[in-house]
Structure formats: C-alpha cells, structure tokens
Amino acid sequence: MKENKNQHVWRDYFSMLLNAGLPWVLMAVCFGLSMLKAIMSLALANQITVALKDYSNIKEAIPELWKLIGILLVGIAASVAGIHLQGIVGAQVDRNVQRYAVDNVLYLKTKDLEENDTRNFITRLTDDACKNSPFLIELTINEIPRIYYIIAAIIAVRKIGQPTLTGAMFLLIPCIVILSLVSGKITFTNRNKVQTKLAAVTAKLAEKIDDIELIKSYSTEEKEIKSGNEVLDELSKVRKEGALVDHINKYIKNMIWFIDVAIMVIPPTLLMFKGVIDRTVYYAYILLVSRFETYIREHLIVWVYLKEAQGATRRLSAVLNMENEKSVSAETAFNSGDIEFINVCFAYGEENVLNDVSFVIEKSKKTGIVGLSGSGKSTVLNLIEKFYEPDEGKILIGGKDISKLDYTDYRSRFAYLPQNAPCVSGTVREMLNYSTQREYSDEELVKALKDVMLYDDIMKLGGLDYQIGHNGENLSGGQRQKLGIARMLLSDSEYVMLDEATSALDPEATAAIQKKIDEKCRGKTLIVVAHDLSTIENADKVLVFDKGRMIAEGTHRQLKEKLPLYRDLVKGDR
C-alpha cells in the first residue's frame, strides 16, 4: 500500500474530517470556554494590580479581593469544563473518522484489497484514525483564543512602559520556537518510524495466526516462533531507539522550561529591587508573561500535532483515496434477463484465466459450469458478482452492461455461495438472517435448517442462539456449507450462484440438498459451478471450460455423448 506523498495531504485531511462529520455545536461551546479562559487570564492580571495595591483601610480591599477570587474561579471553571468537553470532542471525531475509514475499506474493490496486505489496514483504521483530532481541536478551538491572549498580553506589557520587560517577553518567543521546532521534527520522525514498523509487525503476526492450521500440520511451530521473535525484536529495537529519542526530547523540553523561567523572572525581579516597578506591577507582569509563555508553548505544540496528523493522513489517504464501489456513479434501474458474456478476457496479474469467452446464461433456467481445476469456472461467478471487471469484452444482464450498474443494487439481485461457505461471527439465527430482506421467524429458520439436514446438529450444539465463532470456526466444513445453503434458500434473490456448494457433504446429503435447492430455485436463474456432476444432471444447459476457454455447451446427456473431456469429468466424479 503506497503512502500518499503529494501536496494534497491537507486537502485530504480536511475532506476526511468533513466527510466523517464534526460535532460543530460542541466545538462551538469549547471555543467559547477557551476564549473565556483567555479573557479571565487577562482580567486576573489587571485585577491583581487593583486588589493588591496599598489601601488605607482593609475594608476597601475586600470587594476587590472578591472580584479577584471570582475571576480566578470563573477561569478555573472554564479551563476544567473546556478540557473535559474537548476530550469528548476528540473521542467523537476519532469515532467518526474510524467509521468513515471502515466504511471506505468495506467498499473497496476486490482487486485493490488483494493487491495490498489487508492486515495493514487494521493499524490504519485504529491507530492512524485517532491521530487527527488533537490537531483539529488545537486549530479550531484553542488557536484563536491563544492568539487573542498573546496580542492582548503584549499590549498590556507595553503599557507598563518598561522596554526591558517588553524585550524579555519577546525573547521568550525565539527560545521556545527554535527548541520546539526541533522537538516536533524529532517526534514526527520517531513516531512515524515506530508506527510503520508496528503496522508491519501486526500484519506479520496476523498472518501466522491465519495460517495456524498449516503451521501445526507441518509441525513448524518452533520455526514460526523464531521468525515471530525476530519480527518482535525488530520492533523492540525501533522502540528502544524511539525511547532514546524521547529522552532527548524531554531534555530539550526541560531546557526550554529552565530558560523560560529565567527570562520571565530575572528582569522584573531586578527592576523591583531597584524600585523601578512596584510589587503590583511585578505580580501582574509575572501573571501575564507566565500565561503568555504557556500559550506560546501550546501554540508550538500545534506543530507536533500537525506533523502527527500529516503522517496519519498520508497513511490513511493511501486507503481513502482508492476508488471504492460506493463512489462510482452508476445506474440503479435495470431489467432482469439473460446474462451474456461477450469476448471476455480476464487475468489475475499476469496469469490469464479467461480468454475470449462468450456464452449466454438464460434467465429462469439452471446452468451448470464444469471443467478441470484452474479452468476459470469460479472466475466466471466472480465477474458476474462484479468482484472484478473484465480486462477485455463485456458482460450484459438484460441487455445492459453490468459495469454501468450500481454495485449495491446489482448485487441485491444475487445470492452467492462460495465453496468455503464463509461466515461472520454471531449466532445461528443472525447468520441465517444475515442477508435477508426481513427478519424471519424461528419457525421459518427451523424449517430452513431441516431442509438442509442441519437442524439436529444445531439443536445438539445449542439451538438458534449458538455462537458459531469467528469465520464459523465452531462448525465443521459440512455444517458451514449447510448453514450457507439454508441462508441462500431463505433469500428472495432472482439469481442464485453456487460454487461447489456441497463439496464437503457426503453423496446422500448432496443429493437430498440439491433436490431441495432445485425446488426452492424453480423459476429463478440458478448457476452452479460443479465438481460433483450429479448436481447438474438436470441442468437446462452445461458450460464446459478448459484452460480459460469455453469449449462446449449443451445438456448433460449431450455432452456426455459427444465430449471426451466431459466423459472424463463424469468418470472422475464416480
């Protein structure tokens, strides 16, 4: 997955945030609190010159002291409430960006998903998606109040009429700027390096978990553990380097603090000892300049957040900028009809799978597709489902080019069951209702389970509320296929496509379930990729593929009589 390194990273950043949705009202409240905090900080410095001046009578000071306390309490309340609400804003922004990113990933084209290591997407959708809110909050909520205070504080100090104090105040800026820019650059480089390595480690470890059965079958656990430890050692090395960089950064930050304190305190202290300024001016100046220093520092932390957001956006953009199925403008209205392949060619990378293939799958009839392994049978179904697009030629449905049809509306007309009968985690009930137009009653679900001879197994396991596990891992291969067929039988789809859907079942179960499929799909367009040719003996037409070409079509009987390859397939099936 290539990172987006072009000049449009900030366009992508703001486009992503706006598309994801922002909590504008809450952000406006936070902005108001941030501005109130800045105003109260200025008012506090001004009030202290009044409250702490020499009074002839202590009673005269009490109202001013109460004003001072009131200003202080309002400032504290605004600060505490602002911090809390900004945390909520950050959480909502992160959530919305993650939802937006996940939405885009699930609509990515199959080809793009296969060309990238999809496990890298995990880090993009979790960690990177949460690195955008700090910069947004600082930029839209805190930056204007900060700038307001900085300008107002400079004006207030200049009114004191002591160039030494004004000069000391301005001297803070280059000290903080230079060291903070260095710190921000170090932080960005370090964290980006660790994040990139972490994504690679996540992908590597996920691969080992996915391949656990292969690893166990060849007893290569120790080899894989060693390989995994090497990857973890690489990550540990990067993190150790990062820890050293972080310590250097802390030293730089401490230096900034020490220098800042010296610049803030020494000049006014010397002037007060010399009698040039009194203690009320001293206190007011210290209040003004300390908050000024804090705001300058926070202003420059925006640089750190900016670099983090820039790196995260660049990585996320590699995903979000891919063309997805939802963003493609297409027609939604079309009439059902025959499916026609016209001179279709297709290749996975450099491997040609289909070569100049033309045929018609007639509406409301049963069509079988057979051939040796690797002849292109499953690819036909993948092309019909619009998982891929033909390299050459076109596919029509009801006379319309399917490339011009909306993905979601088009696929809603199809029920597709691959050979491995994939499942998502959840209960049996949820899996049966996964793709249906309405929620079926338990009685209807039980009937579907009985139709595929799965009811007894499910009742022994725990009934409709039984958790099938991740990818249906709590079910056997045959049980997953039966569950997939039951779900397909509940579907109202006009087109039904089965890719060796009974390959894990015994002959007796295959015959019984295929009979039930034929009954339920009567009047529908049924397309069956078959290894067991007994499942297509009653097909209206059978298409025979060999080495990426369709070499013959006809009924089961016709092909058995005339085509040697088909006879060999029949014999091999026996």
Instruction: Return left, alpha or beta for 386; rule: phi > 0 is left, psi -120 to 50 is alpha, else beta.
Output: left
Q: Which residue has the tokens 């010397």?
A: 270
pLDDT tens digits in sequence order for the chain, 574 residues long: 444 444 577 788 888 888 888 999 999 999 999 999 999 999 999 888 887 777 667 777 788 889 989 999 999 999 999 999 999 999 999 999 888 888 877 787 777 777 666 666 777 777 788 888 999 999 999 999 999 999 999 999 999 999 999 999 998 888 777 776 676 666 666 666 666 666 677 677 777 777 777 777 777 878 877 877 777 787 677 677 667 767 776 777 677 778 888 888 999 999 999 989 988 899 999 999 999 988 988 887 887 788 888 888 887 877 777 777 776 667 777 788 999 999 999 998 888 999 999 999 999 999 999 999 889 999 999 999 999 999 999 999 999 999 889 888 888 889 998 888 888 889 999 999 887 777 889 999 999 999 999 999 999 999 999 999 888 889 998 999 999 999 988 888 899 999 988 888 888 999 999 999 999 999 999 999 998 898 999 999 999 999 999 999 999 999 999 999 998 888 765 4
Q: Which of 574, 571, 554 is nearest to 562 (CA)?
A: 554
- Contact call for residues 544 and 550 (beta carbons, < 8 A): yes
Phi, psi (rounded to 5 degrees) for 347: -140, 145
- d(CA 1, CA 112) in angstroms, rounded, equals 9
- d(CA 221, CA 124) in angstroms, rounded, equals 29
| Neighbouring-strand partners of residue 498 | 417, 528
| The domain over range 9-327 is classified in CATH as 3.40.190.10 | no
- Contact call for residues 499 and 417 (beta carbons, < 8 A): yes
For the chain, give every residue range classified as CATH 1.20.1560.10.
9-327
> What DSSP state is assigned to residue 534?
G
Superfamily of domain 339-573: P-loop containing nucleotide triphosphate hydrolases (3.40.50.300)
**What is the pTM for the complete model shown?**
0.68
Residue partners of 127: CB distance under 8 A and separation at least 6: 195, 198, 312
For the chain, give every residue range classified as CATH 3.40.50.300.
339-573
Q: Which of 469, 114, 6, 468 is nearest to 486 (CA)?
A: 468
